[in-house]
Structure 1
Amino acid sequence: MKRVLTYVAMDSNLRCPVANLVSLVEESGFNNEPNFVEKLCDMLFRVYADCNLFEEGCDKMEACLGLFKRMVEFNVEVTVYSLTIVIDGLCKRWRVKRAKDLMIEMASKGIKPNVVTYNTLINAYIKRMDFEGVNEMLRLMEVDKVEYNAATYTLLIDWHGSSGKIDEVERVFEEMREKGIKADIHVYTVVINWNCKIGNTKRAFALFDELAEKGLVANVHTYGALIDGVCKAGEMEAAEILVNEMQTQGLDVNQLIYNTLIDGYCKRGLIEEAFKVQVIMEKKGFENDIYTLNTIADGLRKLNQPEEAKRWLLTMIEKGVVPNVVSYTTLIDIYCKEGDFVEAKKLFQEMKNAGGKPNAVTFNVLIDGYSKKGRMNEAYQLRDEMRAKGIVPDIYTYTSLLHGECIFGKLDDAVELFNEVRQKGLPLNVVTYTAIISGLSKEGRSEEAFKLYDEMTEAGLTPDDRVYTSLVSSLHKT
């Protein structure tokens, strides 16, 4: 029977929604054969799920839920497998509350959720960043005495990692092993990944070395996590060794890893090496994506090659790569630094017309450009537009405005902005202090300048040469 149903499910000419098949059963008078209906309904869900045909299996979620109600009305013993499939479908459509309510409703009818059911809901809550929901599921699991499996621990490790709680990642990983649950390559990869993200490559490689002892084989994702870690640490030689090693293991380098290498070389200022990787990537059949586009452009910009960065971006856009907010922001920044505000504003408007939403960085780039040219009215208008769009001005916004006021001698306005930053509790940085100290020193207000210098050093910030030069200059003016 299962083979016949699988054949029907996989044939596009014969396939039809589960609800339609169940209606056919009803019309055929099988309602008085509960055992048959039970097995058929459960098997239909299994077949469509196994064939990855959830849409066809459920048609619409309401039809699927209606089917469930009919199955309950027929006193059909619905299995937890079918329940979990429906819950998974609801979760994928972001109807997590409805999924949880259905689980609780079915539990009251004797269909107890298993670890897979709970994992499905935990995963949905994590994706929604609903940590209260995750904790509620964990509490219910404890009440129902449902033991965690490897998948549960993997989800929890990823959850704590995304929250920056690396100690919790290690604790959960250790708890898993203490309970005798074998960690698979996926679990190891997740733990390695989060250690790499916080820069703890030593621990990541220690875990990597454990794999052979445990009889596990590293996959592309494992190598990708390690390569990302060493690239972020600027250890490009180690990255090359890992790439060669994974290829000797028969694993192909994917586009994500190529982009990671390009990013690593760009951050080290090795733009020629980045271009070599980009050429290899193209020869392997991968097209330049938006990440490749932005990474190389940013690398060129940081090497003070704005014209090359601009040419690269415009060439890639002409080749069909659709620019995003980062691409536009990089171009806007280049034009602002060149003093070409007509082109910068044109791009800013073009981005908005294309449906792109400028972020705080985009606004800050423009505000900084206008401020350095003394065009403070336009700078403040952009600050107001930021607020109108619900984007909160940050320390970089205020520093740019403050710097602009200082450059053109409006010290009282600069001091007012500085005090506003304090009132808002924004973290003052070296650049902010340097701007206001330089401004005060320029006007001979040395007492105020030295007071802020003391405040700066007490906050643990290290002044640069500009601060000392400004302070000495203020004494001469005094």
Structure 2
Amino acid sequence: MSNQAIATNIAKLILKSGLQPFKTTPSLLSKLDSRVTQSILSDPNVPTKSCLRFFNFLRRNPSCKPDLPAHLILVCRLYRARKFAEMKNVLKFIVNGGNLWSNVERIVSSIGGEFNEPKFVENFCDMLFRVYMDKRMFDSSLEVFDYARKNGFEIEERSCFEFLLALKRSGNMELCVEFLRQIVDSGIEIRVSSWTAVVDGLCKKGEVVRAKALVDELVCKGFKPNVITYNTLLNGYIEIKDEGGVNEILSLMEKDVVDYNVATYTMLIEWYSRISKIEESEKLFDEMLKKGIEPDVYVYTSLINWNCKFGNMKRAFVLFDEMTERRLVPNAFTYGALVNGACKAGQMEAAEMMVNDMQSKGVDVNQVIFNTLIDGYCKKGMIDEALRLQNIMQQKGFEIDVFTCNIIASGFCRLDRREEARRLLLTMEERGVAPDVVSFSILIDIYGKEENFAEAKRLLKEMEKKGEVPSVVTYNTFIQRYCKKGKMEEAYKLIDEMKERGLMPDTYTYTSLMNWECASGNVDRALELFNEMPQRGLNRNEVTYTVMISGLSKAGRADEAFKLYDEMNTQGIIPDDRIFSSLIASLHEAGF
């Protein structure tokens, strides 16, 4: 029986089976070869759907799997029938088929007949480009792109965009930038959103300067950034805390007459607040309203959060009322900021009112909110209220975590109820809560106050055995206790140990040392430490100045004390009554 006769017989069986699964006889199947398969798939009398069912039947039979030409014939038929999803699947079979896979030039040259015409080949290349991309075979996608470009075909801009996104998601920004340049050089009209995605990828990797250089390069080639491009760069510079970069982007936006959108205002309000320019944030907020740009919940939450952090609770509550009047629904972060701010301000009643309000609005009270409230009560010395909230928290199904334990233990310590704090921390593990560095630091402080240095040191070793690395706070606890006992040599040894571990003494460390050097009459040594602080990048706070001015005053060094007082005022640090008392005393010491 000839190949044509075999093909005709099988075609009849295919037509007869209709929508039913295709069946054939073993003898007929044994005569099926690549030429017969190609002839059946090319037969215009066999519907495309039937061809696809026959093709899938062959793929399930190891003895007669379709070859590359058979795949391509079906691809062509599916293209003609506008069945692009099925066409893409067949291309995936080629890519995944091992022995079917070949370079793009051979694959395209295998397409024969009426389909070997430019429009089909162009669409075929575009789809093959996408298939390779989906399989993360990026080099093969680029091979298709190069082939298409050299032969006068164009890969669709949308496909190029998706390829850029795929490279970005894979973290391959080098290839992403390189491909963007290839797109630009090939003359494909690329949307601003496509190349902005590449800028965003660089910014997310912290390569903001390079991202800015890429934008400059594209601008020189006639591309125009939009507000999203500038927002991307703006966010990049904000993330790396580059104030100069932020200002440069704002200048460019002004020069190019690019108006801010709500995202721009949100970022800038957050940025200026973060660098303690809350007044600038408020100005931007007012400007936003005047321009008719509706602030969203994120803008309000940012402003509320920073006003709370700066202690401007009255303004924070005004903003909260304003956002609800605009029918904006506060989220857990909005409420969390207000609860935290109220707790820090000691306004526990207001904090609880906020919690009640968020529950009435259907916003879940999370563990962070509970811990914040417990901390607020502990700092006010209201330990019974804190314990009441702990019980409510457990009743609502929240497990007591390490933060809860540390907060309550600190609350007990503030009330000098050290035994209860110790008991809580020592029984944490029995409750399934692993102590952290803060837990150990609180315990070490308890033993330090009891002058039980042996137990404190034992805890330090136990802490390290459990994988908890001592922090600056842990060391400060020891240093302060040694200083109070006049064991300055031990204190300085600990500072050396800190440095060996890569931990740098902080403002608290220096202030503790200065305080006890002054108390021991070593004012010059205290001054050395005081002058060393800026060299170490440490800010001198009100307590630091108070310690030093007091030490100089007691030593009768009034001129130096008053000089530091002037410096303190220049730094914007407000002196308290202790400093005035020390300065007056220094005048008496000096004989005035």
Please give the TM-score of this superposition, normalised by the length of structure 2.
Answer: 0.65
Q: CA deviation at 1:181?
A: 1.3
2:209, 2:426 → 1: CA distance? 46
The 8 Å contact of residues 25 and 31 in structure 1, kept in 2 or not, is answered as no
Matched residue SS, 2:293:
coil
Alpha-carbon distance change, 99 to 456 in structure 1, aligned in 2, over 3 angstroms: closer
Report whether the alignment pairs 1:40 with 2:192.
no
1:417 paired with 2:536, answer no
Q: Give 1:154's match in structure 2, choosing from 266, 274, 289.
A: 266
Tell whether the 8 Å contact from 2:379 to 2:411 is kept in structure 1 after alignment. Answer: yes
Farther-moved stretch of structure 1 (81-90 vs 231-240): 81-90
1:335 is aligned to 447
TM superposition shift of 1:148: 0.7
1:218 aligns with 2:330: yes
- 1:371–1:237 CA distance, 2 compared to 1 (3 A): same
The one-letter code of the counterpart of 1:382 is L
C-alpha distance in structure 2 between counterparts of 1:38 and 1:18, whole Å: 19
Please say which structure displays the higher CA radius of gyration: 2
In 1, Cα distance between equivalents of 2:251 and 2:559: 54
Distance 1:69 1:453 in 2: 64
Secondary structure at 1:137's aligned position in 2?
helix
Q: Please give the alpha-carbon distance, in whole angstroms, between the structure 2 residues aligned to 1:21 and 1:276.
A: 64
Q: Are 1:96 and 2:208 matched, yes or no? A: yes
Residue in 2 that maps onto 1:444? none
Aligned partners of 2:514 and 2:526 also within 8 Å = no
Shift, 1:172, TM fit: 0.9
User: Compared with structure 1, are the counterparts of its residues 455 and 38 closer, same or farther at alpha carbon in structure 2 (3 Å cutoff)?
Assistant: closer
Name which of structure 1's ranges 26-35 and 288-297 shifts more when overlaid on structure 2. 26-35
1:178/1:434 Cα in 2 relative to 1: closer, same or farther (>3 Å)? closer
Find the partner of 2:173 among 24, 37, 61: 61
- The Cα shift of 1:173 comes to 0.7
Give the number of aligned pairs.
444
Q: Which runs of 5+ in 1 are unaligned?
A: 9-13, 441-446
Identity fraction in percent: 44
TM score, norm. by length of structure 1: 0.79
Distance 1:225 1:158 in 2: 14
How far apart are residue 294 of structure 1 and its match? 3.0
Tell me the equivalent position of 1:373: 485
Among 306, 315, 340, the alignment partner of 1:194 is: 306
Aligned partners of 2:171, 2:563: CA distance in 1, in Å?
A: 65
Q: Return the letter of the residue paired with 1:244.
A: N
Distance 2:187 2:541 in 1: 63
Indicate if the aligned counterparts of 1:395 and 1:427 stay in contact, CA closer than 8 A: no
Matched, 1:271 2:271: no
Q: 1:397 aligns with which of 492, 499, 510?
A: 510
Query: Does the aligned pair in 1 maintain the 2:486–2:516 contact within 8 Å?
Result: no
Aligned to 1:311: 423
SS at 2:330 equivalent:
coil
Residue 102 of structure 1, CA deviation: 2.0
> What residue is the counterpart of 2:367 in the other structure?
255
Q: 1:132 aligns with which of 244, 249, 264?
A: 244
**Which residue in the other structure is 1:11 paired with?**
none
1:76-115 paired onto structure 2 within 5 Å: 76-115=188-227
Once the 2 structures are TM-superposed, how far is the Cα of residue 154 of structure 1 from its aligned partner? 0.7
Residue 357 of structure 1 deviates from its aligned partner by: 5.6
Deviation at 1:437, TM superposition (A): 9.0
Structure 2 CA distance for aligned equivalents of residues 454 and 98 of structure 1 = 50
In 1, Cα distance between equivalents of 2:487 and 2:563: 30
Between the aligned partners of 1:150 and 1:212, the Cα distance in structure 2 is: 18
Distance 1:79 1:145, change over 3 A: same
Match 2:547 to one of 432, 441, 446: 432
- On the 8 A contact 1:79/1:111 being kept in 2, the answer is no
CA contact (8 A) 2:471 2:503 kept: no
Compared with structure 1, are the counterparts of its residues 214 and 315 closer, same or farther at alpha carbon in structure 2 (3 Å cutoff)? same
After superposition, give the CA deviation of every residue in 1:376-419 in whole Å (9 maximum; x if it has no partner).
Answer: 2211222344566462563653444643784xxx53xx333344
- CA, structure 1 residues 170+336, in 2 after alignment: closer, same or farther (shift >3 Å)? same
Map Cα deviations across residues 155-196 of structure 1 (whole Å, 9 max, x no partner): 111111111111111111111112221111211111111111
**CA positional deviation for 1:456:** 10
Alignment of 1:356 onto 2:469: yes
Structure 2: which 5+ runs fail to align? 1-81, 93-132, 534-539, 569-574
